[in-house]
């Protein structure tokens, strides 16, 4: 979807919110998963996040229709009365639910900076699924940036595997969780784009469909994984202001991702990601007193450079000019 014409100030605002939210969300999860006191259940936060996103989508639909009745009619006709179309969003909803839960597992076993750099493997997964599912083609520069990105992530893993000695880290578990999360992110994002562009259904109706399934899958995860503990301690066990802030930031991130797709372009998203990586590294150093080796810094430079290169517009094919014919006398 091409970016719409908006002011530079609006783009700067979107960039600022997206960057601060992405970095703050990761650092906040990392902090809440290592604070003293009773530990909250990650499955309940994922479920409440889906509920929050659904509420935001319904509010936006209400504003689009200028009435609650218009919103309810739209949801009734396109969600409840069209189950075959709604079930198209079941797949990405389940995958996103798995991805969100895996993020808590990964950030419980990796520092925030390593997580943020490694999570950029989602670009590789997205590119591969775009080729396989959407039939897109990538330029040589983009393929080259993917290999650079892979090399940068590999260097960060060398530093992480050899340098993290804290007892609360379980590096293999964290790496496995984030690897599966990247695959989930890539597939779900491409599948969502394919469904969205393959029909006339609006973005926010698609979001309502997806978040309804997300709530259902979240409740199933709560019951199957933490059902006994939730029954004994309560749904909001271990919650504090920071946990509610995690839910709010996750909801804001989902909303602004949709805005970025509509109003900005890949360069803005790439720059935001690069800045958030640097901010995550600084935040890990200041808040968690993390220390990194030379491989981490080299890998981070490669990843940031690869994201910038990948975000550049594809070169337009040269149009062959008709050759002038010589006149015969």
pTM here?
A: 0.81
Q: Tokens representing 180?
A: 């599966």
- How high is the pLDDT of residue 54? 94
Under a CB-based contact definition with an 8 Å cutoff, are residues 28 and 249 in contact?
yes
Residue ranges in the chain modelled with pLDDT below 70: 1-6, 161-168, 257-271, 314-329
Task: Measure Cα distances from 12 to 16, 20, 248, 268, 319 in Å.
Answer: 6, 12, 22, 9, 35
Residues 6+ apart with CB under 8 A from 87: none
Under a CB-based contact definition with an 8 Å cutoff, are residues 292 and 113 in contact?
yes
Q: Tokens representing 319?
A: 């149009």
- Could you say which DSSP state residue 66 is in? T
Under a CB-based contact definition with an 8 Å cutoff, are residues 186 and 129 in contact?
yes
- How high is the pLDDT of residue 328? 47
Under a CB-based contact definition with an 8 Å cutoff, are residues 117 and 78 in contact?
no
């Amino acid at each position: 979807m091409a970016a719409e014409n908006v002011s530079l100030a609006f783009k700067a605002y979107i960039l600022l919110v997206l960057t601060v939210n992405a970095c703050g969300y990761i650092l906040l999860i990392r902090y809440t998963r290592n604070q003293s006191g009773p530990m909250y259940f990650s499955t309940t936060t994922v479920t409440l996040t889906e509920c929050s996103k659904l509420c935001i989508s319904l509010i936006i639909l209400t504003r689009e229709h200028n009435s609650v009745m218009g919103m309810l009619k739209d949801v009734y006709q396109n969600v409840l009365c069209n189950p075959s179309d709604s079930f198209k969003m079941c797949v990405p909803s389940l995958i996103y639910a798995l991805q969100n839960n895996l993020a808590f597992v990964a950030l419980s076993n990796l520092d925030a900076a390593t997580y943020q750099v490694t999570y950029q493997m989602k670009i590789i997964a997205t590119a591969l699924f775009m080729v396989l599912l959407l039939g897109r083609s990538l330029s040589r520069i983009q393929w080259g940036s993917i290999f650079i990105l892979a090399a940068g992530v590999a260097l960060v893993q060398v530093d992480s595997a050899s340098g993290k000695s804290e007892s609360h880290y379980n590096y293999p578990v964290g790496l496995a969780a984030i690897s599966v999360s990247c695959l989930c992110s890539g597939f779900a994002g491409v599948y969502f784009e394919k469904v969205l562009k393959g029909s006339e259904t609006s973005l926010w109706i698609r979001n309502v469909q997806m978040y309804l399934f997300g709530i259902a899958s979240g409740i199933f995860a709560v019951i199957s994984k933490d059902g006994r503990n939730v029954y004994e301690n309560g749904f909001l066990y271990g919650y504090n202001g920071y946990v509610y802030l995690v839910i709010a930031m996750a909801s804001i991130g989902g909303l602004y991702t949709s805005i970025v797709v509509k109003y900005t372009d890949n360069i803005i998203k790439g720059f935001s990601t690069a800045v958030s990586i640097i901010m995550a590294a600084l935040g890990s150093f200041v808040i968690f007193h993390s220390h990194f080796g030379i491989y981490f810094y080299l890998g981070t430079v490669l990843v940031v450079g690869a994201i910038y290169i990948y975000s550049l517009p594809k070169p337009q094919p040269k149009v062959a000019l008709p050759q002038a014919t010589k006149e015969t006398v």
